[in-house]
C-alpha cells in the first residue's frame, strides 16, 4: 500500500456495511452519516483479522456484529450482523481456505439473494475461481464455535505472515504446546498419528509445516474449550 505524503484524509480504516438496497449490497458512511452506496460487487485485498460477536450500540439497542479486516488500497472493515447470511457464508468460506490461500490477496464479493438477503462469496483473483462451500446441515452448525475457530485461524495466520521465519526454539515451543493439549485430551500416540494422517497426510508432528502445526494447535484448543 503506497503512503502518500502531504495533506490528506485521516489515516483510519474505512468501514463498509452490508445491506441490500436497490442496486447495491453494501455502503459506506459519509462524515454526516449519509449513506454512500457501493455499486461494485467485490473488494480485493489481504484478510488481516476477523472479530466476531462485537457488541455495537445502535438506535435499536445492542447488536452483535462480525468485523472482517481487509488491507487493500487502504484498510477496510466489513461489518455485518452475526446472524446474517453474509456473516455465515463468510465464516464457511474462511473455514474452507488453506493457510497458503489466506496469505495471498482474496476477493470478497457480495451476492444478492431473495428479499433483503446478501451472501458472501470469496474468489481467487488470479484464477477467477470462487470457493465452493456447502450449506448442508447449516441449521445444526454451532456458529459461535465456528466463529472462534475461524478467528483463531485468521489471527494466527496473520501473525505467522508477519513473522514468516520461526526459529527452531519457537518450533519446540509449539511441539511442547501440543504435548500439553494432547495430554489434557487423553489422546494416545495412535490417536494423534491417525488424526495427522487424515488431516495432513503426515504421521509425525515433526513433518508438519509451521502453518500446519499452528492449525493443529488451534484444533486442539477448540477441543478443550
How far apart CA 107 and CA 27 sit, in angstroms, is 17
Cell numbers placing 11? 489515516
Cell numbers placing 19? 445491506
User: What is the side-by-side order of every strand in the sheet holding 42-58?
Assistant: 35-38, 24-29, 14-21, 75-81, 61-71, 42-58, 106-112, 118-124, 129-130
How far apart CA 103 and CA 47 sit, in angstroms, is 8
Question: Cα–Cα–Cα angle for 199, 119, 159, nearest 5°?
Answer: 45
Tell if the pTM clears 0.85, that is, is over it. Answer: no
Successive 10-residue mean pLDDT values, the chain, 225 residues: 74 92 91 92 94 76 88 93 93 91 92 90 92 82 90 78 60 86 90 91 86 88 85
pLDDT, residue 195, reads 92
How far apart CA 37 and CA 172 sit, in angstroms, is 50
Amino acid at each position: 500500500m503506497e503512503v502518500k505524503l502531504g495533506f490528506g484524509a485521516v489515516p483510519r480504516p474505512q468501514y463498509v456495511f452490508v445491506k441490500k438496497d436497490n442496486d447495491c449490497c453494501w455502503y459506506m458512511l459519509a462524515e454526516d452519516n449519509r449513506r454512500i452506496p457501493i455499486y461494485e460487487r467485490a473488494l480485493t485485498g489481504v484478510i488481516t483479522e476477523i472479530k466476531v460477536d462485537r457488541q455495537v450500540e445502535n438506535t435499536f439497542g445492542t447488536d452483535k456484529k462480525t468485523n472482517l479486516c481487509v488491507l487493500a488500497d487502504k484498510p477496510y472493515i466489513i461489518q455485518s450482523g452475526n446472524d446474517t447470511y453474509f456473516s455465515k457464508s463468510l465464516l464457511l468460506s474462511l473455514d474452507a481456505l488453506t493457510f497458503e490461500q489466506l496469505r495471498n490477496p482474496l476477493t470478497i464479493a457480495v451476492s444478492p439473494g431473495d428479499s433483503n438477503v446478501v451472501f458472501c462469496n470469496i474468489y481467487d483473483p488470479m484464477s477467477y475461481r470462487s470457493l465452493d462451500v456447502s450449506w448442508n446441515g447449516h441449521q445444526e452448525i454451532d456458529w459461535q464455535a465456528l466463529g472462534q475457530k475461524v478467528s483463531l485461524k485468521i489471527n494466527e495466520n496473520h501473525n505467522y505472515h508477519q513473522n514468516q521465519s520461526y526459529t527452531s526454539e519457537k518450533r519446540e515451543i509449539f511441539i511442547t504446546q501440543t504435548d500439553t493439549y494432547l495430554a489434557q485430551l487423553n489422546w494416545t500416540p495412535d490417536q494423534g498419528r491417525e488424526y495427522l494422517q487424515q488431516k495432513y497426510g503426515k504421521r509425525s508432528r515433526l513433518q508438519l509445516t509451521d502453518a500446519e502445526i499452528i492449525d493443529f494447535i488451534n484444533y486442539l484448543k477448540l477441543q478443550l474449550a
